[in-house]
C-alpha cells in the first residue's frame, strides 16, 4: 500500500510541477509542449519518468532563454523558479541523477 501511495505521490507531484511550468509558458507552442509533457508524466509509471523529466528540464531551459532574449525579466524569474523546484524534486525523489 505504501509503495502504491508513494508512486502516486511521485506522479501527482510531477504533474503539479509541470502544471506550474505550463503556467510559466509565454507562448502557445511552449504551452502545448508543457501540457503534453504533463499528460505524458501522468500516464507514465514512476520508474520511467526520467526521459519525460529530462525533456521538461530542456523545455524550462528553452523558456528561460526565450524570456532573456525578449527581455522579459518577470517571466525569466518565474521560469527559473519553476525549473529549480522541478529539478530539486526530481533529484530528491531519485528521478534524475544529481549533476
| Count of other CB atoms within 10 angstroms of residue 94 | 12
pTM here is 0.88
Backbone angles phi, psi at 72, to 5 degrees: -90, 85
Q: What is the pLDDT of residues 23-68, one digit of tens each?
A: 999 999 999 999 999 999 999 998 889 999 999 999 999 999 999 9
CA atoms of 88 and 91, how far apart (whole Å): 5
CA atoms of 7 and 95, how far apart (whole Å): 12
Q: Please state, for a pLDDT cut of 90, what percent of the chain lies above it.
A: 76
Average pLDDT, the chain: 91
**pLDDT at position 7, please?**
85
| Count of other CB atoms within 10 angstroms of residue 8 | 11
Amino acid at each position: 500500500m505504501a509503495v502504491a501511495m508513494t508512486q502516486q505521490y511521485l506522479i501527482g507531484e510531477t504533474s503539479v510541477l509541470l502544471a506550474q511550468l505550463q503556467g510559466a509558458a509565454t507562448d502557445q507552442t511552449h504551452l502545448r509542449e508543457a501540457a503534453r509533457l504533463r499528460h505524458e508524466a501522468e500516464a507514465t509509471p514512476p520508474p520511467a519518468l526520467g526521459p519525460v523529466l529530462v525533456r521538461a528540464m530542456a523545455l524550462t531551459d528553452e523558456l528561460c532563454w526565450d524570456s532573456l532574449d525578449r527581455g522579459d525579466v518577470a517571466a525569466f524569474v518565474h521560469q527559473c523558479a519553476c525549473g529549480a523546484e522541478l529539478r530539486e524534486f526530481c533529484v530528491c525523489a531519485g528521478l534524475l541523477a544529481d549533476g
